[in-house]
Chains A and B, each alone.
Chain A
Amino acid sequence: MKRKISLILIITVIFSLSSLRAYAFDASWEADRLIADRKTKLGYTDLLSESILDKAGTTESDWYAIALSRHGAKDDYDAYRAMLKEYVTQCYQTPQKLHAVKATEWHRISLAALACGGDPTDFGGINLIADGTYNRGLTVSLGQQGINGWIWALITLDSMNFQIPEGAFNTRDDIIAQILARQLPDGGFALTGSVSDPDMTSMALIALAPYYNSENIYTLENEQKSVHLVIDEALLNLSAIQGEDGSYSSWGVYTAESTAQVIQALCSLGIDPLTDTRFIKNGSTTIDALEAFKISDGAYAHSKGSSENSMATQQALCALVALDLFQHNERAFYDFRPEMSEETKTAISDLTAKISSISSYQLDELMQEYENIPQSERRYVYNYRALSDAVKLSRGEQIEVPSLTAQPKASVHTPNTISPEAEFPTTEIKYKVSKKTDEADENIQITEAEYIFSEDDMNTFRNLPEKLTTKEYPTVVSLCDKIETCADFEGKEDISEKLHNDKKIIQSIQKEIDDINELVSKSLYPFDSISLKDRDTVLEIVERINDLSEYDRTKINYPEDIEKALTQVNSLYRAQNITIALIILTAAAAIALIMRIIKRRKAKAQE
């Protein structure tokens, strides 16, 4: 009996502790701290600066831009957008454009462009959405890189509810069907093989989430599937494979990234990771599990016991932001559209509350309320399936509601036009970006075309050093981008000319760095083959490096190899000189000796 009481006591304590902890978890605060710590570590005021800007357009940087923007954090999005545009423009000059195979390059960059207030359908004249999603198949199939090509194409299309023009290579339904067809017998998804992988399952769930309420039946090769059944099965699988401590494993290792992906998937479906018992193991939620990978200072490790890892940290940040958005009843992480009207929000929360006590309402009435909610917002009625099931049960038939993939009848069939529902993205994203930082800014809506070359911009311009280095490149590119689109002002032309000239100067410095690096790798290896013949090349390399600024010199690869080669050719040169000197000495000594012998012989003969 005593034992029983103590057991109950312990359980009570555990439960109260866990619920206490659950409510005490502030995703927003955690995300803020992570961002602040990153900044401190890198020594940046804005996270999107210097080394992060240099890598705009790559995995290393883009996820930061995406997560920061969705978190509504204040940062230098203008600079990031300018650098990203620069990267895309450069890449588009190559035959493969962003990548020969990976469509996901277009997807991630489109999301990053949106995050920075850019328009991915016209990003420096390039339509990333057409090229990377519905018309990607004109170049290479979206599935060439595996299922993730389909998944991320759908996520990208839905990020701003982009409309697909008639005659496009793939429709939304094509893409959805491709994903559904790749469901594994165990319910989940994987890049390969027959065993589900939590990362791929989660990504598939994120992509399919907007269609959970769809009543469409997709006819696949051998079977018929509906999105909601596939999602339910995938969720069962995710619940079943969750680890003892709430974490998830991929490739046989429990990782922060897998756990973070699951958190994002749950949030995208309106499932609370902190309370839904399907995803709590031994009292441990996915959030507890994720936090167990935290090393310190807002950095996360890939696996238990390993050191901090960039991908783990970025994915953890995405998960925290996704949870924060969910907790605050905002749009899902990959839904970049402006927040819905208060009216729609209220309608959705009213209906959701009614469905949770469905027996007290008329089904037809609830169904009517559901249909009154704009089509593109119905995904946020997270418990609609309960209503759908009840209606089907009472009517004994399928429900006739317009397909969620049906496009609004509008005359917007040119690829460069975003659906009327979405409006022009940049205005609202700007608003989202500044929303949490400066309440006074709330009503200021700036579009990409209405920049003002501010006093700050002018100061930045004036403070550019006389002797430019590649370090100034992001600043100059960002200012160029601004001056191209800003309103006219006195002296604009001169500044614009100077800036574009500066950009060219830095590009030529970058070219010189690249050339030197190429020359080094071509001429200094293998080390044993370096001979005196290479001395001129080595000296030329050293001289060209010395002509660079101190900062640019750090961009030269393998300085120790150059030093080594220089030492080698100098040693060889010295050896050659010593040899020559010795030969001269020998010759002189030999001549002297011979002369003496001859002299002596002559003297002897005279005697």
Chain B
Amino acid sequence: MKKLRKFRKDFLLAAIIIAAVLFIVQGTKFQSSEEYYRTHIDDITAETPTVTVSIICTNILKNYDSLPKELRSEKYVPKSGVILAPTKVRLREGDSVFDILCRVTREKQIQLDYNDASVGSYNSAYIKGINFLYEYTCGPLSGWTYTVNDLHPDYGCSQYILADGDDVKWQYTCDLGRDVGFTFEEQGEKN
């Protein structure tokens, strides 16, 4: 009994060492719930709603001659025509196509230039350029278009509110949308 008491302090020290080592190994990043929420807002888990975004400029490859010389570089136009391969992005409540594009380009460090129609708070942004490829850069009918689940909406990208599982494609057109599958003439005739 006396012997056990003698070792009690040793046990305590050993326990402290083990506990401390365990903590160090396990990680010491303690956060309040608010902090945790703030830094994990865009984490993707099985339950979180997501959308898929991709940015494609294959049409420029097909019209390479129309592109100004200074842009004829892999840096701006990748050989694959894919600026951003389909990427899953956490969808926040009320996110528009524009919100998601802003977030994903910032995160992936892709240049983005747009007009945000904040004047009069109309909330309809216009994408002028992605990855330094601008409207009118590759011919008079060129610019950025978007589809959601392969459909071409007829309104601004900041007015399109996304739903879980939506597939957003940003495509560069050199022919006012026809080369990305937009067939407004047929629609016009139907109407």
Residues of A within 8 A of B (CB): 38, 41-42, 51-52, 55, 58-61, 100-102, 143-146, 191-193, 195, 243, 249, 251-254, 302-303, 306-311, 313, 521, 525-527, 558, 561, 563-564, 567-568, 571-572, 574-576, 578-579, 582-583, 585-586, 589-590, 592-593, 596-597, 600
Are B136 and A102 closer than 8 Å at their CB atoms? Answer: yes
Residues of B within 8 A of A (CB): 6, 9-10, 13-14, 16-17, 20-21, 23-24, 27-31, 35, 38-39, 41-42, 68, 106-109, 115, 117-124, 134, 136-137, 140-141, 154-156, 159, 175-176, 178, 184-188, 190-191
Min CB–CB distance B100 → chain A (angstroms): 14
Are A567 and B35 closer than 8 Å at their CB atoms? Answer: yes
Are B29 and A589 closer than 8 Å at their CB atoms? Answer: no
Partner of B176, one of A191, A254, A575, A596: A191
Interchain CA distance A568-B42 in the complex, whole Å: 13
Are A585 and B16 closer than 8 Å at their CB atoms? Answer: yes
Are B13 and A52 closer than 8 Å at their CB atoms? Answer: no
Q: Which residues of B contact A572 (CB under 8 A)?
A: 29
Are B188 and A568 closer than 8 Å at their CB atoms? Answer: no
Are A309 and B140 closer than 8 Å at their CB atoms? Answer: no
Are B120 and A313 closer than 8 Å at their CB atoms? Answer: yes
* Contact A575:B185 (CB < 8 A) given known A51-B118, A303-B154, A526-B109: no
Interchain CA distance A191-B21 in the complex, whole Å: 71
Are B124 and A310 closer than 8 Å at their CB atoms? Answer: yes
CB closest chain-A residue, reference B110: A525
CB closest chain-B residue, reference A101: B136
Are A309 and B35 closer than 8 Å at their CB atoms? Answer: no
A contacts with B: majority SS: helix
CB closest chain-B residue, reference A253: B154
Q: Which residues of A contact B188 (CB under 8 A)?
A: 195, 249, 251-252
Are A525 and B106 closer than 8 Å at their CB atoms? Answer: yes
- 8 contacts across the A-B interface (CB closer than 8 A): A101-B136, A144-B136, A192-B178, A313-B122, A571-B39, A582-B23, A583-B24, A585-B16
10 closest cross-chain pairs (CB), A and B = A252-B187, A146-B140, A251-B184, A310-B122, A101-B136, A578-B28, A575-B29, A593-B13, A586-B20, A252-B184
Interface contacts beyond A100-B136, A525-B108: sample of 15 additional A-B pairs, CB < 8 Å, sorted by A? A60-B119, A101-B136, A253-B154, A306-B155, A307-B159, A309-B122, A310-B119, A525-B106, A525-B109, A526-B108, A567-B38, A571-B39, A575-B28, A592-B13, A596-B9
Partner of A575, one of B13, B27, B68, B137: B27
Partner of A42, one of B21, B120, B186: B120
Min CB–CB distance B60 → chain A (angstroms): 15
Interchain CA distance A195-B178 in the complex, whole Å: 13
Are A582 and B42 closer than 8 Å at their CB atoms? Answer: no
Partner of A593, one of B10, B20, B184: B10
Min CB–CB distance A190 → chain B (angstroms): 9
Min CB–CB distance A406 → chain B (angstroms): 31
Are B38 and A563 closer than 8 Å at their CB atoms? Answer: yes
Interchain CA distance A466-B191 in the complex, whole Å: 60
Are A306 and B159 closer than 8 Å at their CB atoms? Answer: yes
Interchain CA distance A208-B154 in the complex, whole Å: 30
Q: Which residues of B contact A306 (CB under 8 A)?
A: 155, 159
Are B106 and A310 closer than 8 Å at their CB atoms? Answer: no
Interchain CA distance A100-B176 in the complex, whole Å: 19
Interchain CA distance A146-B159 in the complex, whole Å: 28
Q: Which residues of B contact A527 (CB under 8 A)?
A: 42, 107
CB closest chain-B residue, reference A243: B191
Are A596 and B10 closer than 8 Å at their CB atoms? Answer: yes
CB closest chain-B residue, reference A576: B28
Interchain CA distance A600-B3 in the complex, whole Å: 12
Interchain CA distance A523-B185 in the complex, whole Å: 46
Are A41 and B120 closer than 8 Å at their CB atoms? Answer: yes
Q: Which residues of A contact B14 (CB under 8 A)?
A: 593
Q: Which residues of B contact A313 (CB under 8 A)?
A: 120, 122
Q: Which residues of B contact A307 (CB under 8 A)?
A: 123, 159
Are A579 and B28 closer than 8 Å at their CB atoms? Answer: yes
Are A38 and B120 closer than 8 Å at their CB atoms? Answer: yes
Q: Which residues of B contact A309 (CB under 8 A)?
A: 122, 124, 155-156
Interchain CA distance A195-B27 in the complex, whole Å: 66
Are A571 and B141 closer than 8 Å at their CB atoms? Answer: no
Are A525 and B107 closer than 8 Å at their CB atoms? Answer: yes
Min CB–CB distance A603 → chain B (angstroms): 10
Are B191 and A249 closer than 8 Å at their CB atoms? Answer: yes
Are A146 and B191 closer than 8 Å at their CB atoms? Answer: no
Are A302 and B17 closer than 8 Å at their CB atoms? Answer: no
Q: Which among B17, B41, B159 has the highest number of chain A CB atoms within 10 Å?
A: B17
Q: Which residues of A contact B13 (CB under 8 A)?
A: 589-590, 592-593, 596
Q: Which among B13, B118, B185, B186 has the highest number of chain A CB atoms within 10 Å?
A: B13
Q: Which residues of A contact B117 (CB under 8 A)?
A: 60, 310
Interchain CA distance A58-B159 in the complex, whole Å: 21
Q: Which among B6, B16, B21, B118 has the highest number of chain A CB atoms within 10 Å?
A: B16
Partner of A564, one of B38, B123, B134, B137: B38
Are A582 and B28 closer than 8 Å at their CB atoms? Answer: yes
CB closest chain-A residue, reference B116: A60
Interchain CA distance A589-B13 in the complex, whole Å: 6
Are A55 and B124 closer than 8 Å at their CB atoms? Answer: no
Min CB–CB distance B153 → chain A (angstroms): 10
Are B20 and A589 closer than 8 Å at their CB atoms? Answer: yes
CB closest chain-A residue, reference B186: A252
CB closest chain-A residue, reference B176: A192
Partner of A61, one of B119, B122, B154: B119
CB closest chain-A residue, reference B42: A527
Are B38 and A145 closer than 8 Å at their CB atoms? Answer: no
Are A589 and B16 closer than 8 Å at their CB atoms? Answer: yes
* Contact A558:B29 (CB < 8 A) given known A306-B159, A586-B20: no
Interchain CA distance A571-B120 in the complex, whole Å: 40
* Contact A192:B141 (CB < 8 A) given known A525-B107, A526-B109, A563-B38: yes
Interchain CA distance A446-B67 in the complex, whole Å: 48
Min CB–CB distance B186 → chain A (angstroms): 8
